[in-house]
Chains A and B, each alone.
Chain A
């Protein structure tokens, strides 16, 4: 305690004494102190400086735009940039028209920090008024900041792993809706009609510029929730007003500035974390040198304390149109569901006598579910189907004739992403292979989920893997069993049986795999399947696919195969799930016989980050085993 007080006193004494001597009576700034300041963490963060390994360049800013720097070599010299910033901030008022171009208006966060550490060096011309910044920041009225997490979206590879953005909350102070709060987003700048291969390659290896943009929050709320059908979780942070305003000011400095985009690491989550970390003692970037998954950021955010409090003070769920529809549908009684089906089947003309006899609250439930259904179908199928639109409008008109008010719905069963497991999996298995004997299998999947362990923030019954592999160490031989470069299994598991509530399922994969469980040489191939899913009840989902693959012919199985797949997903809650699969393959350009592959895999969740699995596979060679997995 005594030492702590002494340390604080010394620090304050140091800052005050230094700032006094920093700006000498001759008007020049103490060079030594300036050098010290230019090496301080906050200044390096304000300039987005990163350490470089070369002798000639020690620092390099992540920002590529020249107008982010006030010194000619500011991108590489924190010292010169600091000196130039102080000089420019002290430069006099020119004209009202040019006010917004002044350093004070362009770099409010730098000014905020300089006022704190070296106030005596500043000589601000009071005539300078920053109207644009005042308007944008609603006159510094941000009372808190939220980080918003949008769940993964399989319609865009860059969004497979979810997305994060910031919301500057000022609605209470302004007496406005939170939909009009300012939101700040980070993303890559992609040319129109970019082909998928270029898109992935450039996204991985820094081929795109990126940057921060801003827009009213309702734009994102509507776009993610209504158009892309993505659930959102909002995490409101516990920051002081000064800390919030510092972040807002720094965001202003970064708007429109160009960065280089890296999908794996320096992505939206990284830049959002970086922006929040401008505040002292906030350290929320997950420690992973290769990749950063938005969900990991959310998990670290919730686990972080700041100023003696939890950094996250409130979590709010914003369900998508899809989630709202399925929830409303689930809440209907069987009689109400029949009425809903009748309305949909008769193109929105279902207001039968029996419907009119239902109590008003029941009619409202049904009609509200029908409205959600039509919008869900239109958006899901990316359709402008005139018939559906017409049906929707009939029901909308009907809704106006019913009493006002809506049903309160509880979404507590939706698992928030911070409550889910960690994204990366290491799995150790002991197995017996009929011909190759006992084996130890080591499976590593850096990200993200499969049909058995999908949870909070994931798409149920689906899977998403990027660079996952399994090594087999056996009595007879050791080998790479498979290497998934990229694997997506998408299955719509919540189908209601209503028309156009498409139960589409598809798979796509690229990577190395065994052509047979006795062959240790994994060959490269790509596979794809398309099919339909059928939900029999809450615990059982079936899917059937047709597809095929192209592969290397090293093992004599030809270059082309066709296949049919049947799968059954058994769900006994989050803790116990099974998946059974039957695959029939025909080798088109090989004399190998057709092949049937039967498999069964079960998962039991031990803790949030631990699991046990059992598995069985028969491709005319049996193997079965037991595995223990942990997530990190």
Chain B
């Protein structure tokens, strides 16, 4: 089941604007390798789930996957062939708002080759350009 909040203060939110680059959540901190976005955008909960399933199928219970973003934002839409007006549409799905530089996923406990293949399979599912990064050593 895709990720979504358990409790929210409001059912709908305004669209907002993505300004600037990520100044937090832009380094690998839990695992050894990560997928960092090069573009900003909305990543839906279904997309995150698809990437997670792709990783799980490849890893086969080896290593550990960390999902670094959470879909907090409700995205609404109005049905097809509906006349304009009558208020804002109903929530359709949940999305994570990502700025360029955000680390979406991290992998730990696997070798460099396996991590590269796994993260590249996950990257195919994503709507933003990403790159593979390694943990910066202390």
Judge: A and B partners, yes or no: no
Residues of chain A at the chain B interface (Cβ within 8 Å): none
Residues of chain B at the chain A interface (Cβ within 8 Å): none
